[in-house]
Amino acid sequence: MADNIALKAVNDGDTSLQKGAVSGPAGPKPRPVVSARNIIVYGTLFVAAVYYLIPLYVMVVTSLKGMPEIRLGNIFAPPMEITFEPWVKAWATACTGLNCDGLSRGFWNSVRITVPSVIVSIAIASVNGYALANWRFKGSEFFFSVLIIGAFIPYQVMIYPIVIILREIGIYGSLTGLIIVHSIFGMPILTLLFRNYFVSLPEELFKAARVDGAGFWQIFLQIMLPMSLPIFVVAMILQVTGIWNDFLFGVVFTRPDTYPMTVQLNNIVNSVQGVKEYNVNMAATILTGLVPLVVYFVSGRLFVRGIAAGAVKG
């Protein structure tokens, strides 16, 4: 930017003041509020923000309209008459095939899948990460490498062998089976997350506990756990949104009466029979997206940390 250079000349004298300032590419701080640069920056960001917000807006607006109004008007117009009927219908009476008890069943199925899956996967991965960080044994790093490489293998490659294994054990199609599957596929990233966290803790802490005679579980439960609350929260955010949003495992490993919410939502909206009720569909879509959205808005910065942690896999 040209004006940067000009400003630089003016403010060169006080760059020392800027040393401690927030890092970033922008020029010295004092500058007019309305400048060509600001208009471009905020203008572009604003347009982008509108693009990102439109789908949410359209979802909400559509779900509050009646069908006649949808047929007449355009999808961006706010509702003339607000009705909550689509929401009630989506929750309680929308049909998938022969079942007409709405999304509520899928919601409770998803709860019954997500809660145990999150607990089991985090329990396994945290203990495992701790073992890998502090109690290495011969071959532990090798198994860990295989686990991490496995995170990149498309699920489709491993799905059928899992189907066979679960069928042999006799839990194929049950929620238990799906919970196991979620724990398996959550393992690489969670183990990496916990391992890296425990490695970053000061080693003296562990050594001191060892000298005092504490064992594997004692150190974990009494020293490591209380210190690692933030990383548990990050793992929970990662898992709750991931498992809630899952579709593939739900459709492969459950039966129609135990389908999670995403699968049921897709069946409701994309069913070929009947008149399309767009307002009900959109209400159902929002309902399904609500849980991860609430997690997202409540957790804020931790969510970003979670996905950043999830992103560094490999």
Partner 1 sequence: MTGQAKAGRPFKLFRNLNSKIASIPMILTAMVIFLGGTVWTVVYSFTNSKLLPRLNFVGIEQYQRLWAAPRWVVSIENLAIYGILSLIFSLVIGFMLAALMDQKIRFENTFRTIFLYPFALSFIVTGLVWQWILNPEFGVQAVVRSLGWTSFSFDPLYTSEIVIYGVLIAALWQGTGLVMCLMLAGLRGIDEDIWKASRVDGIPMWRTYLFVVIPMMRPVFITTLVIIASGIVKVYDLVVAQTSGGPGISSEVPAKYVYDYMFQAQNLGQGFAASTMMLVTVAIIIVPWAYLEFGGGRKRG
By CB under 8 A, the residues from 155 to 214 that bind partner 1 are 155-162, 164-165, 183-184, 187, 191, 206
Q: Considering only 51-59, 85-93, 98-106, 227-235, which stretch makes contact with partner 1 by CB under 8 A?
A: 51-59
# of chain residues touching partner 1 (CB under 8 A): 106
Q: Which of residues 128-157 bind partner 1 (CB under 8 A)?
A: 128, 130-132, 134-138, 140, 143-144, 146-147, 149-150, 152-157
Q: Does 246 bind partner 1 (CB under 8 A)?
A: yes
CB-wise, 70 or 113, nearer to partner 1? 70
CB-wise, 65 or 175, nearer to partner 1? 65
Q: Does 254 bind partner 1 (CB under 8 A)?
A: no
Q: Least Å distance between CB 35 and partner 1?
A: 11
Cα separation, 247 vs 84, in Å, equals 27
Cα separation, 90 vs 261, in Å, equals 12
Identified binder of partner 1 from the candidate list 10, 39, 55, 101, rule CB under 8 A? 55
Q: Does 68 bind partner 1 (CB under 8 A)?
A: no
Q: Which of residues 73-102 bind partner 1 (CB under 8 A)?
A: 74-76
Q: Considering only 84-92, 111-119, 222-230, 297-305, which stretch makes contact with partner 1 by CB under 8 A?
A: 297-305
Q: Least Å distance between CB 86 and partner 1?
A: 13
Q: Does 255 bind partner 1 (CB under 8 A)?
A: no
Bridge partners (DSSP) of residue 220 are none
Q: Does 222 bind partner 1 (CB under 8 A)?
A: no
Q: Least Å distance between CB 93 and partner 1?
A: 19
Q: Does 54 bind partner 1 (CB under 8 A)?
A: yes
CB-wise, 75 or 111, nearer to partner 1? 75
Q: Does 24 bind partner 1 (CB under 8 A)?
A: yes
Q: Does 13 bind partner 1 (CB under 8 A)?
A: no
Cα separation, 220 vs 112, in Å, equals 28
Q: Least Å distance between CB 177 and partner 1?
A: 13
